[in-house]
Amino acid sequence: MTLKSIRCLRCEKNFEVETKYSRTRKFCSRDCSSKYRKEINSSSKECLYCGGVFTVKNHLLNVRIFCSKACVGQYNSKIAKEKRIRRICPICNKEYWVKPSESHKFMVCSKKCRGVSQRRRIIENCFICNKKVERTPSQIKKSSSGYVFCNIECVGTYNSTQNKQLKKTCLICKKDYYTIPSLYDKSKTCSVNCQHKWQSKFLIRENANNYKGGKYLNCLVCGTEFYAYKYQVENNLTKFCSVACKQENWKKDVITKDVFKKKRYEGILKHRQMFPKETKPEEIVRVWLEEKGFVKDIDFAQEQGLFHKYIADFWFIGTRIVIEVYGDYWHGNPEKYGDKDGLTPLDKHQKYQRRYDIERLKDFEKHNFKVLVLWENDLKHSINQLMTNIIKSYKLSPRREREM
């Protein structure tokens, strides 16, 4: 590779370049190249506003007459000031300037003066104190007396001379008081306190302002008189004065009836059939039975309703043997919950559940059912031993084995 020395056209410094580029390269760097082109393609010119000299490209020589945007703005504002029209505001008598193109818009100096100029108000004298006040034609037209007043006090002074008050006796305190003729028939009392007492005494029941055709009834439980709305009376929707009385009636007369118990049982059975969901302990027992060959709905039934009262967890079809699977917490496992030392005390729900479980087991015994209770803790540790003892003790087997 051979090099050749060339002189830069702008800075006149010598630089070396390859021989094959010696005819095309004329500058030592890009900086010299760009500056050279700017100097060749631009000229100097004097600013029309500040008189300063600035550089402009040759093709914009006849277009650019200012050196910067600031000079453009200053020049335009100077010309605009010279062309503006001087005016005097007819409202505040202040001097202001306006552009020729906007002379038809700005007839006043400010928004405040424009608002004053647009007001169509009439200056009148107050009928009582003779103060000057501004009022619109509509306000003067609305005045029932035909006069103009500057404030409420003047209005009150005028009314006191015009309205002849009438004497009346208060129905509560029996004192004499005065009222205007327009309120004579309606007025009943002399003050707000007496009005409250009168309303609580006379505006009740059918005489109340918001009476809608209701009726006063006696509560079936406590005998207290209470108000029932018209639609409640017509549709026989209420019989009790409060929720507490309604719940008390349910405890005594509704929940204890056999009809309610039967309906409740049918509702629970229908709900479980629509949304079948077994607990984890129940799943452990079901899986064990299926592994040993017992078929669901053939050899055993799960969530089976018995004597229209209870629902058994597992019932071996064709027998009177029922398996109940108890969760340790919900049924209160006596090995974990109780009053003895080292055990967790029973909560309100567990105490209720224990009483319910005892009654339930007694009802099963009355119908000659054998109920085998399996606890969650025992199933997790020794399910094979428990279930094997049950199968052997009561001689239970799958149907297909019996048929073979």
pLDDT tens digits, 297-337:
888 888 888 877 788 889 898 899 999 999 989 888 888 99
> Minimal CA–CA distance to 383: which of 374, 396, 370, 392?
374
User: Quick one: 186 and 280 in the same domain?
Assistant: no
User: Quick one: 290 and 387 in the same domain?
Assistant: yes
User: Quick one: 111 and 59 in the same domain?
Assistant: no
Is 327 among the domain residues?
yes
**What confidence tier does 10 reach under pLDDT thresholds 50, 70, 90?**
confident
State the pTM of this model. 0.40
User: Quick one: 42 and 153 in the same domain?
Assistant: no
User: Quick one: 92 and 43 in the same domain?
Assistant: no
- Scanning the structure block, which residue is given the tokens 């060749």? 40
Distance CA 158, CA 209 (A): 35
Average the pLDDT over each of 30-34, 180-184, 268-272 and give the range with the smallest value.
268-272
Is 24 among the domain residues?
yes
- The percentage of the chain sitting over the pLDDT mark of 70, rounded to a whole number, equals 98
Q: What residues have CB less than 8 Å from 311, skipping those under 6 apart?
A: 265, 268, 269, 272, 303, 304, 305
Distance CA 358, CA 235 (A): 42
Q: Domain span at residue 267?
A: 259-403
Return the pLDDT at 273.
72
Is 336 among the domain residues?
yes
Return the pLDDT at 192.
92
User: Quick one: 350 and 231 in the same domain?
Assistant: no
Domain count, the chain: 6
Averaged confidence pLDDT in the chain: 86
**What confidence tier does 85 reach under pLDDT thresholds 50, 70, 90?**
confident
User: Quick one: 358 and 338 in the same domain?
Assistant: yes
Residue 327 burial by Cβ neighbours in a 10 Å radius (0-12, 13-18, 19+): middle
User: Quick one: 158 and 102 in the same domain?
Assistant: no
Helix axes 376-393, 280-291, angle to 10 degrees: 30
